[in-house]
Amino acid sequence: MGRLFDKFGPKWLVIIGLAIVTVVLFMYTGITPTTTLGKIITLHVFMMIGISMIMMPAQTNGLNQLPPDFYPHGTAIMNTLQQVSGAIGTAVAVSILSAGQTRFLSGVTNPESPENQLAGFTSGVQNAFVFALVLAVIGLITSLFVKRVKVGAQQGQQGPMH
């Protein structure tokens, strides 16, 4: 991705990466207990390719906006935000999964049956992927506004540490 970033900049990598992630998440919303392991693994591989096309170019482009003296601080902030947002996103997704499962099971006559438990869990998983899909679509729309920042564009500025 580094070479592609240098050649094409962040915008097209992020847009294509988010498009891939959006398509994969859309396909994940239709996951069922009969979905093959091969399909899940293939979708996951494409998801990781899409994410690699998003994360490095977006973070590099963001850090390039800082004066070099602030790169360590920017990196620390980006890593912290990534960890915090990942934890929050996971908590929200699990909450959506649980709520979807509960909603499904409240509408069946025998919520204790293994078939209904599996169907309820599947419904919750699908809801969680719909949540992720909505976030990916928002990200895809936002990515249309990404602009390339040249390294050193801020180098003439003096930061507060000087």
Q: At 55, list the tokens.
A: 């994360």
Residue at 111: amino acid letter: P
DSSP state of 113: S
Nearest to 70 by CA among 161, 140, 134, 151: 161
pLDDT digits (tens, 9 = 90+) for 36-66: 999 999 999 999 999 999 998 888 888 888 8
Q: Which long-range contacts (CB under 8 A, 24 or more apart) does 151-155 make?
A: 151/64, 152/68, 153/64, 153/65, 154/65, 154/66, 154/67, 155/67, 155/68
Q: How confident is the model at residue 159 (pLDDT cuts 50, 70, 90)?
A: very low
Residue at 12: amino acid letter: W
pTM for this entry = 0.83
pLDDT given at position 150: 72
Contact (Cβ atoms closer than 8 angstroms) between residue 19 and residue 140: yes
Domain coordinates in residue numbering, the chain: 2-143
pLDDT given at position 158: 46
